[in-house]
């Protein structure tokens, strides 16, 4: 049942592995967590449904077929509104906290200014999460207990995959509000692929993923409005044959955005994602490793 309200979450993330990893892919779902600490709800001025506006709800289920394709699937259990894994570790807004932030904290990024740092100040629709300041020690504890172990394990998966296959391909799985992809001509993107404008993965990879998804009937655009966040930027090193691609799914395709309930089309989308990435894996098997992007 979603959301889950508890006093703690253990484990804070899960990794579902195939019997043996058969492909150089890793699928990562950092924002679908729906385990809400009771203490967090008590601190917030918002109810649980409002907090869930920031969730990439059900994306872990949409990409569950990754394991059947021979790839590990990693997913956070805690919510994005509590801590955002797709940020720098210390991207923090000093106005949110009682106490002094460490001197190395990044307090001036655009994401912090927008209220969407490592410890978010607002949910996706702009509402303030907290009614009062948080103790700075609590923020630092969330980073130590949740953020750092998650990224430590994700790095291990990438390293292991690269050692086994000579390359790694990280698919960072997200969803986006339908309002974020409205266009002047009335068309809406079903899926946005982000490769940091050609810097986080080889062109062959994004070409194949786009073609496979278009082949299933979806409208696909690149990098606008989402080019990829911290994860895509920092885990994508094409010169080392380590590739990262962000996939953003329009939420209106698979759920009611007002009450966060799945639509009947959910199963169709999940099946299409499975077929599309099976096609990508097959196509890559017929190619050499994705061509590296020359350093400039």
pLDDT, residue 113, reads 95
Burial 146-163 (b: 16+ CB within 10 A, else e): bbeebbeebeebbeebbe
The confidence score (pLDDT) of residue 294 equals 34
Strand order from edge to edge, sheet including 73-76: 13-16, 73-76, 25-29, 168-176, 242-250, 191-194, 220-222
Q: Is residue 169 pLDDT above 60, yes or no?
A: yes
**pLDDT at residue 33 greater than cutoff 60:** yes
* β-bridge pairing 35-37 and 97-98: unpaired
Least confident of 51-65, 112-126, 139-153, 173-187: 173-187
pLDDT in tens, 48-63: 999 999 999 999 999 9
pLDDT category at 83 given cuts 50, 70, 90 is very high
Phi, psi of 70 (to 5 degrees): 100, 15
**pLDDT-based confidence at residue 4 (cuts at 50, 70, 90):** low
185-225 residue pLDDT tens? 445 899 999 999 999 999 999 999 999 999 999 999 999 99
Nearest residue to 220 via CA among 176, 257, 285: 176
Of 10-14, 155-159, 209-213, 288-292, which range is least confident? Answer: 288-292
Residue 138 has a CB neighbour count (10 Å cut-off) of 15
The answer on pLDDT for 82 being more than 50 is yes
C-alpha–C-alpha distance, residues 246 and 126, integer Å: 23
Least-confidence region, from 37-41, 71-75, 233-237: 37-41
Environment class of residue 33 by beta-carbon count within 10 Å: exposed (0-12), middle (13-18) or buried (19+)? Answer: buried
Domain covering 4-80+167-285 assigned CATH 3.40.630.40 in the classification: yes
Q: What per-residue confidence (pLDDT) applies to 242?
A: 98
Contact yes or no for 169/236 (Cβ under 8 A): no
pLDDT band at 125 (very low <50, low <70, confident <90, very high): confident
pLDDT confidence bin for 285, thresholds 50/70/90: confident
Work out the end-to-end distance of the chain between its first and last CA atoms, rounded to an integer number of angstroms.
Answer: 49
Q: Which pLDDT score, from 0 to 100, does residue 58 have?
A: 98
User: What percentage of the chain reaches a pLDDT higher than 90?
Assistant: 87
Local structure of residue 146 (DSSP, 8 states): I
pLDDT of 184 > 60? The answer is no
Q: What pTM does this model have?
A: 0.94
Q: What is the average pLDDT value for the chain, to the nearest integer?
A: 92
């Amino acid at each position: 049942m979603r959301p889950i309200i508890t006093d703690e979450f253990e484990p804070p993330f899960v990794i579902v592995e195939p019997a043996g990893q058969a492909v150089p892919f890793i699928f990562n779902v950092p924002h679908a967590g729906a385990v809400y600490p009771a203490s967090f709800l008590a601190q917030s001025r918002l109810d649980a449904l409002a907090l869930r506006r920031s969730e990439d709800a059900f994306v872990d289920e949409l990409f569950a077929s990754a394991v059947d394709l021979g790839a590990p699937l990693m997913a956070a259990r805690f919510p994005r509104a509590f801590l955002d894994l797709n940020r720098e570790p210390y991207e923090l807004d000093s106005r949110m906290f009682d106490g002094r932030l460490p001197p190395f904290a990044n307090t001036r990024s655009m994401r912090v200014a927008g209220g969407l740092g490592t410890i978010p100040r607002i949910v996706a629709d702009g509402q303030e999460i907290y009614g009062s300041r948080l103790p700075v020690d609590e923020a630092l504890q969330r980073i130590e207990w949740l953020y750092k172990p998650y990224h430590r394990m994700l790095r291990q998966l990438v390293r292991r995959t690269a050692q086994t296959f000579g390359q790694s391909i990280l698919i960072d799985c997200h969803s986006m509000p339908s309002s974020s992809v409205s266009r002047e001509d009335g068309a809406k993107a079903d899926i946005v692929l982000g490769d940091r404008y050609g810097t986080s993965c080889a062109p062959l990879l994004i070409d194949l993923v786009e073609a496979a998804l278009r082949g299933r009937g979806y409208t696909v655009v690149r990098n606008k409005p989402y080019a990829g966040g911290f994860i895509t930027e920092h885990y994508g090193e094409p010169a080392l044959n380590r590739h990262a691609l962000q996939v953003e799914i329009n939420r209106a395709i698979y759920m009611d955005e007002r009450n966060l309930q799945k639509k009947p089309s959910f199963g169709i989308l999940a099946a299409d994602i499975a077929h599309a990435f099976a096609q990508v894996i097959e196509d890559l098997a017929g190619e050499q490793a994705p061509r590296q992007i020359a350093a400039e």
